[in-house]
Amino acid sequence: MKPREKLRATSWDPYKIKKSIKMSMQTAERVSSHDNSDNVIYQRHLVAYNTAKDLVHGKVLEVGCGEGYGVDILAPYANEYIAIDKFQTNLDDYINKHPNVQFEQMSVPPLPFPDNHFDSLVTFQVIEHIEDDEEMIKEMARVLKPGGIMVMTTPNIKMSLTRNPWHVREYTVQELAAINQRYFSDVDMQGVYGNEKVMDYYVKNRQSVRKFTRFDILNLQYRLPRQILQIPYDILNRMNRRLLLKDNNTLVSDILVEDYHVAKANNMCFDLLVIAKK
């Protein structure tokens, strides 16, 4: 297959799917590998890809690839790698490097692929943005082959410092396990944890966030519709990350993927990491 070759037109041709609008701004939800203020979260996200590389094989689907930094990690382990995202993403560098990679812009659910189509599926920091999360999980199970593996991450609500209005919802360990167990035969609930250096950042971040939220004496962050709060939240979130970088440059810059580890999920992990088998 040539590097730029598009998916063949079939009954599930994704080009027939209505495309979402191009993203007009870089929100703090779109973690960047190039913005140093995102480094702590970026390194945390790499944990999921490093975990998944030991699990994925064959035909792989990534739901919500973002800017594509994870493609570079997982593509060498796949025969075919299809990356999809709601927003238009330039993956040319990765596609040129890995001829087995294809990208499609689409909104989900549903997934425009046939039943039992993929050997592996990864979806990181996506499910919290999906209105119909159960339909999304059902769809991901449907497109996996019997015995196929799904690896998923999402923030642990118990470690969230404030409401994130870009998220439709966040989950406890028990809530996320329950919804996945309805569609997968085996669900292993793991979590992403940080060492003392990461926890030091977390404490400083919590203190910084409280400087902003102390003015919310009416608790509007939980009372107003989330759509109204998205832009103000994004501006303040980005401001907060850059202030943390300015005040704690060494701490923010020095945190690496090795400062995180994966263990059984509980209320103290930053992200819930699901390894589910169909």
Are 100 and 7 in contact, with CB atoms under 8 Å apart?
no
Q: Which residue has the tokens 């085996």?
A: 186
Q: What pLDDT sits at residue 27? A: 58
Of 212 and 188, which is predicted with more confidence? Answer: 188
Of 180 and 23, which is predicted with more confidence? Answer: 180
Residue 11 reports pLDDT greater than 50: no
Q: Region 3-15: what's the mean pLDDT?
A: 36
Q: What are the structural domains of the chain?
A: 14-277 (3.40.50.150)
Residue 191 reports pLDDT greater than 90: yes
Strand partners, 171: 156
Task: For 132-155, write each residue's pLDDT tens digit.
Answer: 999 999 999 999 999 999 999 999
pLDDT band for position 28 (cuts 50, 70, 90)? low
Q: What pLDDT sits at residue 234? A: 87
The Cα-based distances of 88 to 13, 121, 259 in angstroms read: 17, 20, 32
**Contacts of residue 135, Cβ cutoff 8 Å, sequence gap at least 6:** 109, 110
Task: For 204-251, write each residue's pLDDT tens digit.
Answer: 999 998 888 888 788 888 888 988 988 988 888 888 899 888 988 998
Q: Region 180-200: what's the mean pLDDT?
A: 98
**Whole-number percent of the chain with pLDDT over 90:** 70
Q: What pLDDT sits at residue 10? A: 35
User: How big is the chain, counted in residues?
Assistant: 278
